[in-house]
Amino acid sequence: MILRPALRLLAACLLLLAAPALARDLTPAEQAGLQARIDSFEAAFEQGDIDAVFTVIPPGILATTAETYEITEAQVLSAMKEALTEAMKSAAIEEYRIDLASATVGETAAGRVYVLIPTTAYIRLDGQDETRRSDTVTLAFQDDDAWYLVRIDDVQQVGILETTYPDFEGVDFSEGGTTQGTE
């Protein structure tokens, strides 16, 4: 009987070791770098600077996507820009918010710091009177000391992320789905 509590304690310790590292706060330098990246992304988006908008995509994800589809990274970017340009012809983003103040900070088991940031977009589709609200979560993380932003509301995108950055395997992205409503 004395052995049973010891086994439970051992099992609990092993589970903790297998789990990703617990959340922590960003350092002031990390916070400033991420805020600067978000600010530059939002400014590029508001100004319609498509080239600058796509600088938030991690280089590793571009490389993995190009390899997967057997095309060049330039072709991947070109296709993404074309898709965004086409989508914007029938919709107007009235407001876009990345809420860093409400973000959750975590660390992968390998020690990579990541941030899950609530993101809200208000979109008006052509020919419709009401505005649609889309709530998602944006993943931010550093690669070679630069901050990148990744959509995690798409299973395929998460798959490419985990293929490119295996340390994200096991990180819970379930809150990254999209919810929509009208305003």
- Answer yes or no: pTM beyond 0.75: yes
Enter the tokens of residue 135.
């709530």
Residue 128: the pLDDT is 86
The number of beta carbons lying within 10 Å of the beta carbon of residue 169 is 14
Per-residue pLDDT of the chain (183 residues; tens, 9 = 90+): 343 333 333 333 333 333 344 457 899 999 999 999 999 999 998 888 999 999 999 999 999 999 999 999 999 999 999 999 898 889 888 888 999 999 999 999 899 999 999 999 899 888 888 888 989 999 999 999 999 999 998 889 999 999 999 999 999 888 766 666 666
- Using CA atoms, how far apart are residues 178 and 153, in angstroms rounded to an integer? 6
Q: How far apart are the first and last CA of the chain?
A: 60
Residue 46: the pLDDT is 86
Ordered by start, the domain boundaries in the chain are 22-182
Q: Are 37 and 56 in contact (CB under 8 A)?
A: yes
Q: Classify domain 22-182 at the CATH topology level.
A: Nuclear Transport Factor 2; Chain: A, (3.10.450)
Q: Which of 143, 146, 141, 148 is nearest to 115 (CA)?
A: 141
| Percent helix / strand / coil, the chain, rounded to 5 | 50, 25, 25
Amino acid at site 88: M
